[in-house]
Amino acid sequence: MSFGACTELSHFLAVASFKPNSHNCKCTATINHSFLNAIGGNNRALSMSNLKKNDTRVVAVRAEGQGLTYKDSGVDIDAGSELVRRIAKMAPGIGGFGGLFPLGDSYLVAGTDGVGTKVMLAFETGIHDTIGIDLVIKGIVDGCKQSDCALLGGETAEMPGLYKEGEYDLSGCAVGIVKKDSVINGKDITAGDILIGLPSSGVHSNGFSLVRRVLEKSGLSLKDKLPGASTTVAEALMAPTKIYVKQVLDIVSKGGVKGIAHITGGGFTDNIPRVFPEGFGASIYKDSWEMPAVFKWLQEAGKIEDSEMMRTFNMGIGMVLVVTPEAANRILENGNDTDKAYRIGEVISGNGVTYC
């Protein structure tokens, strides 16, 4: 394969399976975030008529009683999803994580993305080499080496007046090719398949609008030590995004992988169901992997609800593979300190994601 910069092979794959849930836990279904936000978070007693009559009171209750949310920080995941849905109506080749273009017996596969507001922390910290795995010069080169990708030409533009001195923005495109009969598209996923999680290196490049709000509210500086960790806040937040290409290709080559979901914007709640056929959902075992200290700090400092954390951040799992039970056993048995993997849940009948 030959890809451009900012490769995320996860954009092009799906996930697998295991055996019955040995956790014996009760699961709680996800809720309608838009509705709860509208009526004041967890206060289910409020009706829509009360909302119209008492807008000021409802907003005041929410502001005092709830923690920070991604939407309050300026990012509306629902609006973004609706935009993608509308674009997909006009361009059916657009996929959940990448787009497919027919080329003989193969498809060209492409995806594009940017670093997002993580660049604003790069400006503040002066740490620019790590953000490049998410897309800057030296980081771009490092990222391509890690994923065995060719770095092709792109556009560099000078735009006086658009960016302040010392600021920049980044975007990148990855292009690959896959045989039509080798596409992993999730169509064979069924109840009982297993969710295998590959650990993240930290926040990666999603949720930084909320991260910056939490940092502002926390009273800590970027140079302060991150609570519960040996690194500074800046070092934890600017950790380069993990590149999964080689690990995922190795797992895929051994068979049993039905789908792959990259845990980006939308977190677990929105990304995992995107690879499922209609009528299937996911049961996630929340305590089945090691959660990095940065997420514990973000939740505590921002008083962020569990549902908001799971819909905004990767929570320590950057890639989820849906696999057969047999493949799950093999992946977990072959895991090591370099290529760790966790059994984080299973596919169930129904829709959405539940957490237990």
Q: Which CATH number goes with the domain that contains 297?
A: 3.90.650.10
pLDDT tens column, 99-118 = 888 999 999 998 887 777 88
Q: Do 142 and 262 share a structural domain?
A: no
pLDDT, position 98: 74
Q: Which residues lie below 8 Å from residue 241, measured CB to CB, with a gap of 6+?
A: 133, 134, 200, 201, 204, 205, 318
Minimum mean pLDDT among 23-27, 72-76, 120-124: which range? 23-27
Q: Which residues lie below 8 Å from residue 2, measured CB to CB, with a gap of 6+?
A: 149, 150, 175, 176
pLDDT, position 219: 92
Residue for token pair 């209609």 = 278
Domain membership flag for residue 32: no
pLDDT, position 94: 64
| Average pLDDT, integer, range 171-200 | 93
pLDDT, position 11: 32
Domain membership flag for residue 55: no
| Average pLDDT, integer, range 168-186 | 88
pLDDT category of residue 13 using cuts at 50, 70 and 90: very low
Encode burial over 331-342: b for 16+ CB neighbours within 10 A, e otherwise.
Answer: beeeeeeebebb
Q: Do 268 and 293 share a structural domain?
A: yes
Q: Do 178 and 189 share a structural domain?
A: no
Domain membership flag for residue 25: no
pTM for this entry: 0.73
Q: Do 225 and 164 share a structural domain?
A: no
pLDDT, position 165: 82
| Average pLDDT, integer, range 272-278 | 94
pLDDT, position 137: 60
Domain membership flag for residue 50: no
- The domain of 14 spans 1-19+81-183
Q: Do 303 and 248 share a structural domain?
A: yes
Q: Which of 150, 199, 205 is nearest to 173 (CA)?
A: 150
Of the residues 183, 216, 245, which one is the last residue of a structural domain? 183
Domain membership flag for residue 124: yes
Instruction: Kindly tell me if the per-residue pLDDT of 139 is higher than 80.
Output: no
Burial of residue 72 (CB within 10 Å: 0-12, 13-18, 19+) is: middle
Looking only at the bridges linking them, the beta strands covering 353-355 and 317-323 are unpaired
Q: Do 310 and 218 share a structural domain?
A: yes
Instruction: Kindly tell me if the per-residue pLDDT of 16 is higher than 60.
Output: no
Q: Do 304 and 191 share a structural domain?
A: yes
Beta bridge partners of 282: 347, 353
pLDDT tens column, 29-74 = 332 333 223 323 333 232 323 333 333 323 333 334 468 888 877 7
Can you tell me whether residue 185 is helix, strand or coil?
A: coil
pLDDT category of residue 133 using cuts at 50, 70 and 90: low
Q: Do 252 and 298 share a structural domain?
A: yes
Q: Do 349 and 221 share a structural domain?
A: yes
CATH, residue 177: 3.30.1330.10
Q: Do 127 and 244 share a structural domain?
A: no
Domain membership flag for residue 329: yes
Q: Do 95 and 177 share a structural domain?
A: yes
Q: Do 146 and 174 share a structural domain?
A: yes
